[in-house]
């Protein structure tokens, strides 16, 4: 067992899969000699050499096009898009080509590739470098979407993503990079589409993703002092989406809240609450609750960014308000 930061876990996860499978290679902007702009890939080029860990030109289209071609020809590439906002520049390749190739060839072509990216707010990068774009990817058939909340899950979910035969968008919440957690020794491999109950509770189910998971846990501790017993679920992936765990929890607690840093319109929480309403309506003792950012570009000023994103205090207050309504 070792204590690693979230950013160190990224390098460990990549190294685990590159060590295991010679078909795995890694490319991106400044990921090799510099170790990545967020220092998530330090030491990889020294360990695996410049053939398997390569810097690319500043072109997201070139990066995604290259890994698509490599995956079509039997390799299992990992690419980095520096900020998830930059998917907007290569979205045609990702959404219209990578996502659809397996379907359009009737399975004759598989694309076992992973596209990693620093995602979300909380790091004062402003509206063009702070978007949480998991909803963009979730809406595209053919893409799997993964977003870990802690270092151990970074390793396990990254391994599962690399070994999957479908393209995976792997989103690392940038404000979590310095966070620490225990990571077991040896190989770690998880299963995509398996949520985790990270806190047992009896009064309300709170479903969260990535950076919202530790905030939901903080809110749960606050609410415990007010006599509210909160169950917290870390979804871990949006595609596949583990609604079985959510529905089982709601059957126990009879209440549901979702917490996401996405703008409210068309957020993943809307999908979760819709399914619960359709499939478990009679288990609910009250309306479902969605806690999101407003439908605005994320500010770069620290006080405004903190105000826009759901905080532990906001989560606790909204849950209490809903319970008293």
Q: What amino acid positions are annotated as catalytic residues?
A: 129
Rounded CA gap, 12 and 14, in Å?
A: 6
Tell which residue, 252, 205, 251, 257, has the closest CA to residue 230. Answer: 205
Q: Under a CB-based contact definition with an 8 Å cutoff, are residues 168 and 117 in contact?
A: no
* Bridge partners of residue 263, in order along the sequence: 293
The DSSP symbol for 175 reads G
Phi, psi of 299 (to 5 degrees): -70, 160
Rounded CA gap, 252 and 165, in Å?
A: 35
Tell which residue, 140, 97, 316, 120, has the closest CA to residue 222. Answer: 316
Q: Locate tokens 């950012």: which residue? A: 293
Rounded CA gap, 36 and 24, in Å?
A: 18
């Amino acid at each position: 067992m070792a204590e690693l930061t979230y950013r160190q876990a990224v390098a460990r996860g990549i190294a685990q899969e590159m060590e295991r499978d010679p078909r795995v290679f890694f490319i991106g902007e400044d990921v090799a000699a510099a170790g990545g702009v967020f220092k998530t890939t330090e030491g990889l080029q020294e360990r695996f050499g410049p053939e398997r860990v390569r810097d690319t030109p500043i072109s997201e289209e070139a990066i995604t096009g290259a890994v698509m071609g490599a995956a079509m020809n039997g390799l299992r590439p990992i690419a980095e898009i520096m900020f998830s906002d930059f998917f907007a520049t290569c979205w045609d390749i990702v959404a219209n080509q990578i996502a659809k190739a397996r379907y359009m060839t009737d399975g004759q072509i598989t694309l076992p590739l992973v596209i990693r990216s620093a995602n979300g707010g909380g790091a004062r990068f402003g509206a063009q470098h702070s978007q949480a774009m998991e909803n963009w990817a979730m809406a595209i058939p053919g893409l799997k979407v993964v977003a870990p909340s802690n270092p151990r899950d970074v390793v396990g979910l990254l391994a599962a993503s690399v070994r999957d035969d479908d393209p995976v968008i792997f989103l690392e919440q940038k404000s979590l990079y310095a966070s620490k957690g225990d990571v077991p020794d040896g190989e770690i491999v998880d299963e995509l589409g398996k949520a985790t109950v990270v806190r047992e509770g009896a009064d309300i189910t709170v479903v969260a993703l990535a950076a919202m998971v530790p905030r939901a846990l903080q809110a749960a501790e606050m609410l415990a002092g007010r006599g509210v017993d909160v169950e917290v679920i870390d979804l871990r992936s949006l595609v596949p989406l583990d609604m079985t765990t959510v529905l089982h929890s709601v059957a126990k607690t009879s209440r549901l809240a979702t917490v996401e840093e996405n703008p409210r319109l068309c957020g993943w929480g809307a999908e979760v609450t819709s399914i619960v309403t359709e499939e478990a309506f009679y288990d609910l003792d009250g309306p479902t609750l969605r806690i999101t950012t407003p439908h605005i570009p994320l500010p770069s000023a620290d006080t405004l960014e903190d105000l826009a994103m759901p905080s532990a205090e906001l989560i606790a207050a909204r849950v209490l308000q809903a319970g008293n309504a």
